[in-house]
């Protein structure tokens, strides 16, 4: 332990593990420590006994729920966009060889009190019950414009400059109704609130293209994929990668104390009386509480069920987005469901999560619109946790702190934070222009 490292990473959450892997591949000497005796930090997966202990205290789970070891319940449930940044990062680092993925069955949106499949192409728009006949034609024209749009080819821009034009102005050109704009912005472009309407349209168009390309990738009912055995596999995959490149891992290290020199720059980490020297520290907010500020709370419900969610075509894995406007809220609500087909529960069992950025201190009543969609549940757990972001200046103290996980049920925001941190730490960008067909592990089997 009494050695010098280029970087010490504290916490084995997904963000920290991706960074540890990327930095190790770059040839940096990395020490990775965690106060817990398990991988994953906040983004770990729990078996049934661990879930019970966390939410119900000392009671034992009832026998009818099945074997504890058959459960892998994610604490930060998120799907991956098949063509998205996380999959590109997995391929770039070759972590795909440690994981197996399966496509997610369905992607739905809540509109006017009902669940509808999200239409992602011009042909699906024509079939969707979300819109009337004339609105379908307008939406189809908009989808065709987005599908044909190529940033590098001005001929496809039809005279519009999407870097200056706002999303609201672009949508106005196609005369789309508020409800159509709602599902395009929140269920396709995956914006979390309505600020995007006043921002340049290029971002929304790129997000819609990512959704459509991801959907086409596996010809499934959704653009998402998800690892077998749950997300707890991901941090471990990156931990293995780091180890292959010479990174050192130490779990169960209590009281990791970050040490600073006279100038306020980080110089090492002390645990159990030993200090490891380093030039930089990467960590989650819990390791440097005086360098972060609270930015909100996530309210979440976790349900164990014996059936799929109604009106989702019996999907064994599904995402439903409830846009803020449909609920009279300031932020969206997300329903995420997976099951024994992804090896996260015993046969016949489903695990559903409802999450949102908390606007009250009462998660039970706040999450009701999402919970109502689930139907009969065997068990229901409620959780609320604070979200933090760093307020320090890394160029002055060499501390790189990740932002807490948000309520979204997909990984795009998570990986954006990681790649920004990587650039701050190294001054480089990760080349993600990878051959996506290399993700053979991510194919259906």
| pLDDT of amino acid 445 | 37
DSSP run (H or E) holding 108: strand 106-111
| DSSP secondary structure letters along 25-91 | HTT--EEEE-SSSSS-GGG-EE-HHHHHHHHHTTPPPPGGG--GGG--EESS--BEETTSHHHHHHH
pLDDT at 16: 94
Residue 269 lies in a domain: yes
In this structure, are 379 and 412 located in the same domain?
no
Query: Which range has the worst mean pLDDT, 60-64, 148-152, 213-217, 322-326?
Result: 213-217
Considering the domain architecture, whether residues 285 and 415 belong to the same structural domain is answered as yes
Q: Are residues 94 and 207 in the same domain?
A: no
pLDDT value at 50 more than 50: yes
Q: How many beta carbons lie within 10 A of that of residue 394, not counting itself?
A: 18
| Chain segment 1-12, per-residue pLDDT in tens | 668 999 999 999
Full residue range of the structural domain in which residue 408 is found? 4-44+231-292+390-429
- The verdict on residue 138 lying in a domain is yes
Residue 444 has pLDDT above 60, yes or no: no
> Stretch 407-423: mean pLDDT, rounded?
88
pLDDT at 55: 94
Indicate whether 240 and 349 sit together in one domain.
no
Same domain, 84 and 212: no
Do 250 and 311 sit in the same domain of this protein? Answer: no
Same domain, 199 and 178: yes
Q: Over pLDDT 70: what percentage of the chain?
A: 97
- CATH, residue 343: 3.30.519.10
- 201 and 328 share one domain: no
Check whether residue 422 and residue 279 sit in a common domain. yes
DSSP 300-340: EEEEEESSPPTTSTT-SSEEEEE-HHHHT-SS-EEEEEEEG
210 with 240, same domain: the answer is: no
On whether the CB atoms of residues 11 and 34 are closer than 8 A, the answer is yes
Q: Is 445 exposed, middle or buried (0-12, 13-18, 19+ CB in 10 A)?
A: exposed
CATH number, domain of 165, equals 1.10.405.10
**Average pLDDT rounded to a whole number, residues 298-314:** 96
- In 333-437, DSSP assigns E strands to 333-339, 350-357, 379-390, 399-401
Give the pLDDT confidence score for residue 438 in this predicted structure.
Answer: 53
Same domain, 361 and 298: yes
Q: Which residue has the tokens 């067909």?
A: 437
In the prediction, which pLDDT does 442 show?
42
Domain count, the chain: 3
């Amino acid at each position: 332990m009494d050695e010098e490292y280029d970087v010490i990473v504290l916490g084995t959450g997904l963000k920290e593990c991706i960074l540890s892997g990327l930095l190790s591949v770059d040839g940096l000497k990395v020490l990775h420590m965690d106060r817990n005796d398990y991988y994953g930090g906040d983004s770990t997966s729990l078996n049934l006994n661990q879930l019970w202990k966390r939410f119900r205290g000392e009671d034992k789970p009832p026998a009818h729920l099945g074997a504890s070891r058959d459960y892998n319940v994610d604490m930060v449930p998120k799907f991956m966009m098949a063509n998205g940044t996380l999959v590109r990062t997995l391929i770039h680092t070759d972590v795909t060889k440690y994981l197996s993925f399966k496509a997610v069955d369905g992607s739905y949106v809540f509109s006017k009190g009902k669940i509808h499949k999200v239409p992602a192409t011009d042909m699906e728009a024509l079939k969707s019950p979300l819109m009337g006949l004339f609105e379908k034609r307008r939406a189809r024209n908009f989808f065709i414009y987005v599908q044909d749009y190529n940033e590098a080819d001005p001929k496809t821009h039809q005279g519009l400059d999407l870097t200056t034009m706002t999303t609201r102005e672009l949508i106005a050109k196609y005369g789309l109704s508020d409800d159509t704009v709602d599902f395009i912005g929140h269920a396709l472009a995956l914006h979390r609130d309505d600020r995007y309407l006043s921002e340049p349209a290029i971002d929304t168009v790129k997000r819609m293209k990512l959704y459509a390309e991801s959907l086409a990738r596996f010809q499934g009912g959704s653009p998402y994929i998800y690892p077998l055995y749950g997300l707890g596999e991901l941090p471990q995959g990156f931990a293995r990668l780091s180890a292959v490149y010479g990174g050192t891992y130490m779990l169960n290290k209590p009281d990791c104390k970050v040490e600073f020199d006279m100038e306020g720059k980080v110089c090492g980490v002390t645990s159990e009386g030993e200090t490891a020297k380093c030039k930089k520290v990467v960590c989650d907010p819990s390791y440097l509480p005086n360098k972060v500020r609270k930015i909100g709370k996530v309210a979440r419900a976790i349900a164990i069920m014996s059936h799929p969610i109604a009106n989702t075509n019996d999907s064994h894995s599904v995402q439903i987005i409830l846009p803020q406007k449909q609920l009279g809220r300031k932020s969206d609500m997300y329903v995420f469901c997976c099951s024994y087909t992804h090896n996260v529960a015993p046969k016949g069992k489903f695990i559903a999560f409802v999450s949102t950025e908390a606007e009250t201190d009462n998660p039970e009543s706040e999450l009701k619109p999402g919970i109502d969609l689930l139907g009969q549940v065997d068990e229901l757990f409620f959780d609320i946790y604070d979200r933090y972001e760093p307020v320090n200046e890394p160029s002055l103290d060499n501390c790189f702190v990740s932002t807490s996980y948000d309520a979204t049920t997909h990984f795009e925001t998570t990986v954006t934070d990681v790649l920004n941190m990587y650039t701050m730490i190294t001054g480089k960008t990760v080349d993600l222009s990878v051959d996506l067909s290399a993700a053979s592990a991510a194919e259906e089997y």
